[in-house]
């Protein structure tokens, strides 16, 4: 049999995808884990391995000092992201070695920390590309995938250890499956008989089965084995209470109550075995995906999925939801299986205090009352940041949203023409428009606003951009209309590029939550974005003239170049200021055998991660406690040093908080735009203490 030679366009797409993949991973070790988020989440995940506890997430700032045990639990996020990072750590053998410097020197430390985000980010890109390619056109799917893969915010959340992309991929799964289900005619699933029983036996059911196994059955089995393990019961019995929350009795109650979900799993597989059509198989993933998203970040993902589905049902002219077509039995069982076991276990094990902190404070209060004064704004807040977050394809995304919305209204007969039967492309555009609108409304309605919340709107916007860029003729765009849209895209592209060049730190801000003060510095050079945006602007000319393949090549080239500039030029330079890795490499490289390190007058969590918690922590200055600590160290180790890591704004104030004998001995060993590492010899203080005792 002769193999068909691949078409030239296929080879070009494969080459571009391979190039982009290399760009994604080439500089991953050049960038230290950042504060905030990465180091915090990395340490929580590491503690799962250290404590052998996947149930009760844990965080402890340090091993001493007035704030070394300021926190001992981590209840602000659900566990999926930390389970995945812990699994990656275990697979690479990272995080539990006796060497305290392991996380600043291990060759695979950054890869292990970020691998889950890389995989889930890739899943988002593939999911958007496959769905758009199936329902619109192959070219539109390729462009949508490249658009999403090269949007700077998507690039960053896929290269950092964050919860956002872990929560986003299940949303893409859920709404992608929904779009395919409602846009394509259902087909019968193959079936097989085993004795008296007949079951669905079709590869098209495999995604639903694998998702349930990976995110439902396996976590349930791990939690169940953990709470029933004698070592777990013995540890809780030593540290906990006789009964009530955090007790061995509560742990045993969790053990037998988790059996409820074994019944749910059996019922779910029985329901999946009875499914008859491909539509039902796809619909079974909708609520299951929503539940997985909730296990990664909370209520935002499920809210977007459910609101989009309900809105689409009404937009399709269904005044009453067709519950049978939505396959709610399998969906609800999947939602319960992936979402409820951990929440149920924590409620029983930790009681109402955990419910209050996790549900009330970290979900409802954050949405309704805000978290920080600098993280609030109106609808313009996210419209402004969309340009830098999605450059260069962000220049097309708002235009594509408007084009698609107008097209749908026209074909629905809103503008006076007769309504037309929707094609699969129309249904896709309808779902994408509603998805983008619901996501935008949700993040805008939230009182707390961070730049990284915008990432939930990028998949539908990239899908719309891919369809409009790839299929202008099929969407009925005239030459005049394409000219107007191209001019609008040029204006948006100019605004985005100008913002990135004038405020270099804004790219780093796409995944952080501090945008003022010292965080405006250290952003790195961004002049490259001007040159890398030029191919995109030039590509709009052949797009207007109908030469879409040429335009698409220019768009993809611009996106890949922008990603290269972000990951290989900007990010390594910026990470030297946002990450504490180099400071702690310096400390571990030069410290003496009896030296210790103090985090003084700041609390950004990288100091805990890089030292594995072996650090003396002082979040706020307390001169008497600091002097007491230094005198104790000087008495015991007179020839040692105490190292201090602090922020640049406080470094010059350290001398006034030290004993007089040490104030002239401070040495700045390392500093960047954000952090300063200082070394203080204890010998002068030890000599003074000996003189005082002798006197």
Model confidence pLDDT, tens digit, residues 343-364:
999 999 999 889 888 877 777 6
Give the other-Cβ count within 10 Å of 318's Cβ: 11
Q: Express each pLDDT in 502-558 by its tens digit.
A: 999 999 999 998 888 889 999 989 999 999 999 999 999 999 999 999 999 999 999
Q: What percent of the chain has pLDDT over 70?
A: 94
Q: Express each pLDDT in 426-435 by its tens digit.
A: 999 999 999 9
The residues facing 260 across adjacent strands are none
Of 529, 571, 528, give the one whose Cα is nearest residue 30. Answer: 571
Mean pLDDT of 193-205: 87
- pLDDT bucket at 215, cuts 50 / 70 / 90: very high
How far is it, in rounded angstroms, from Cα 452 to Cα 388?
Answer: 12
What are the CA-CA distances from residue 428 to residues 140, 397, 559, 567 (Å)? 12, 15, 24, 32
Which pLDDT does position 12 carry in this prediction? 85
- 335-344, 508-517, 679-688: range with lowest mean pLDDT: 508-517
Are 442 and 304 in contact, with CB atoms under 8 Å apart? yes
3 state SS of 643: strand
Are 60 and 71 in contact, with CB atoms under 8 Å apart? yes
pLDDT over 60 at 376, yes or no: no
| Higher per-residue pLDDT: 378 or 122 | 122
Which pLDDT does position 16 carry in this prediction? 92
Mean pLDDT of 280-296: 97
pLDDT over 80 at 204, yes or no: yes
How far is it, in rounded angstroms, from Cα 592 to Cα 322?
Answer: 70
Q: Is the dihedral of CA 667, 670, 671, 675 positive or negative?
A: negative
Which pLDDT does position 210 carry in this prediction? 97
Q: Express each pLDDT in 232-257 by its tens digit.
A: 999 998 887 777 888 999 999 999 99
Which pLDDT does position 319 carry in this prediction? 59
pLDDT over 80 at 447, yes or no: no
3-state secondary structure 257-324: HCHHHHHHHHHHHHHHHHCCEHHHHHHHHHHHHHHHHHHHCCCHHHHHHHHHHHHHHHHCCCCCCCCC
Q: Express each pLDDT in 578-598 by its tens digit.
A: 999 999 999 999 999 999 999
pLDDT over 80 at 7, yes or no: no
Compute the C-alpha angle 376/517/442, nearest 5°. Answer: 20
Q: Express each pLDDT in 618-670 by its tens digit.
A: 999 999 999 999 999 999 999 999 999 999 999 999 999 999 999 999 999 99
Average per-residue pLDDT for the chain:
91
End-to-end CA distance of the chain: 99
Mean pLDDT of 129-142: 96
Are 658 and 624 in contact, with CB atoms under 8 Å apart? no
Which pLDDT does position 446 carry in this prediction? 80
Q: Express each pLDDT in 97-126 by its tens digit.
A: 999 999 998 789 999 999 999 999 999 999
- 68-72, 366-370, 523-527: range with lowest mean pLDDT: 366-370
Q: Express each pLDDT in 465-505 by its tens digit.
A: 999 999 998 898 999 999 999 999 999 999 999 999 999 99
Q: Express each pLDDT in 398-427 by its tens digit.
A: 999 999 998 888 776 554 444 566 789 999
How far is it, in rounded angstroms, from Cα 317 to Cα 320?
Answer: 9
Which pLDDT does position 1 carry in this prediction? 44
């Amino acid at each position: 049999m002769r193999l068909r030679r691949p078409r030239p366009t296929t080879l070009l797409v494969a080459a571009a995808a391979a190039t982009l993949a290399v760009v994604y991973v080439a500089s991953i070790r050049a960038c230290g884990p950042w504060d905030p988020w990465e180091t915090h989440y990395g340490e929580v995940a590491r503690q799962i391995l250290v404590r052998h506890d996947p149930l009760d997430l844990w965080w402890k700032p340090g091993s001493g000092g007035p704030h070394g045990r300021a926190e001992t639990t981590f209840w602000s996020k659900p566990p999926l992201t930390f389970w995945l990072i812990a699994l990656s750590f275990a697979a690479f053998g990272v995080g539990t070695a006796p060497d305290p410097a392991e996380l600043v020197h291990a060759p695979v430390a950054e890869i292990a920390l970020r691998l889950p985000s890389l995989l889930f980010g890739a899943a988002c890109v593939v999911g958007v590309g496959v769905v758009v390619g199936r329902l619109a056109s192959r070219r539109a799917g390729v462009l949508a995938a490249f658009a999403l893969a090269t949007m700077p915010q998507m690039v960053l959340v896929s290269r950092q250890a964050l919860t956002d992309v872990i929560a986003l991929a299940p949303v893409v799964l859920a709404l992608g499956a929904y779009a395919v289900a409602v846009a394509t005619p259902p087909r019968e699933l193959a079936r097989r008989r085993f004795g008296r029983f007949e079951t669905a036996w079709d590869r098209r059911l495999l995604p639903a089965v694998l998702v349930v196994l990976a995110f439902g059955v396996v976590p349930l089995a791990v939690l169940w084995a953990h709470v029933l393990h004698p070592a777990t019961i013995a540890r809780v019995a030593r540290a906990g209470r006789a009964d009530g929350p955090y007790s061995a009795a509560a742990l045993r109650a969790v053990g037998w109550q988790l059996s409820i979900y074994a019944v749910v799993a059996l019922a779910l597989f029985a329901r999946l075995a009875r499914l008859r059509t491909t539509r039902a198989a796809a619909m079974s993933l909708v609520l299951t995906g929503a539940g997985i998203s909730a296990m990664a970040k909370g209520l935002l993902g499920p809210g977007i999925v459910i609101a989009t589905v309900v809105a689409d049902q009404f937009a399709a002219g269904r005044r009453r939801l067709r519950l049978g077509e939505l396959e709610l039995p399998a969906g609800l069982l999947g939602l319960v299986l992936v979402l409820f076991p951990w929440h149920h276990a924590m409620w029983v094990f930790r009681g109402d205090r955990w419910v209050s902190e996790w549900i009330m404070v970290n979900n409802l209060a954050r949405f309704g009352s805000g978290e920080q004064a600098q993280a609030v704004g109106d609808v313009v807040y996210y419209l402004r940041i969309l340009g830098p977050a999605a450059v260069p394809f962000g220049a097309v995304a708002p235009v594509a949203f408007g084009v698609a919305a107008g097209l749908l209204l026209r074909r629905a007969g809103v503008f006076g023409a007769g309504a037309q039967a929707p094609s699969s492309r129309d249904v896709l555009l309808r779902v994408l428009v509603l998805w983008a609108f619901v996501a935008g409304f949700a993040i805008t309605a939230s009182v707390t606003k961070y730049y990284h919340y915008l990432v939930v709107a990028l998949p539908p916007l990239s899908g719309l951009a891919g369809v409009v860029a790839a299929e202008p003729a099929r969407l009925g765009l005239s030459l005049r209309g394409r000219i107007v849209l191209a001019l609008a895209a040029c204006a948006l592209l100019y605004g985005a590029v100008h913002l990135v060049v004038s405020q270099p730190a804004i790219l780093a801000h796409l995944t952080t939550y501090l945008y003022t003060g010292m965080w405006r510095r250290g952003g790195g050079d961004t002049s490259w974005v001007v040159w890398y945006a030029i191919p995109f602007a030039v590509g709009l000319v052949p797009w207007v003239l109908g030469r879409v393949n040429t335009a698409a090549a220019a768009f993809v080239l611009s996106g890949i170049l922008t990603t290269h500039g972000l990951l290989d030029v900007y990010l390594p330079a910026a990470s030297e200021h946002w990450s504490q890795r180099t400071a702690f490499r310096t400390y571990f490289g030069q410290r003496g055998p009896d030296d210790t390190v103090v985090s003084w007058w700041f609390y950004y969590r990288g100091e805990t991660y890089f030292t594995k918690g072996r650090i003396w922590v002082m979040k706020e200055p307390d001169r008497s406690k600091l002097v007491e600590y230094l005198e104790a160290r000087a008495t015991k180790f007179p020839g040692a040093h105490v190292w201090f890591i602090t922020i640049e704004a406080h470094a010059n104030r350290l001398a006034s908080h030290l004993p007089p004998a040490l104030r002239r001995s401070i040495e700045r060993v390392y500093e960047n735009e954000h952090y300063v590492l200082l070394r203080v010899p204890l010998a002068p203080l030890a000599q003074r203490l000996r003189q005082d005792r002798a006197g």
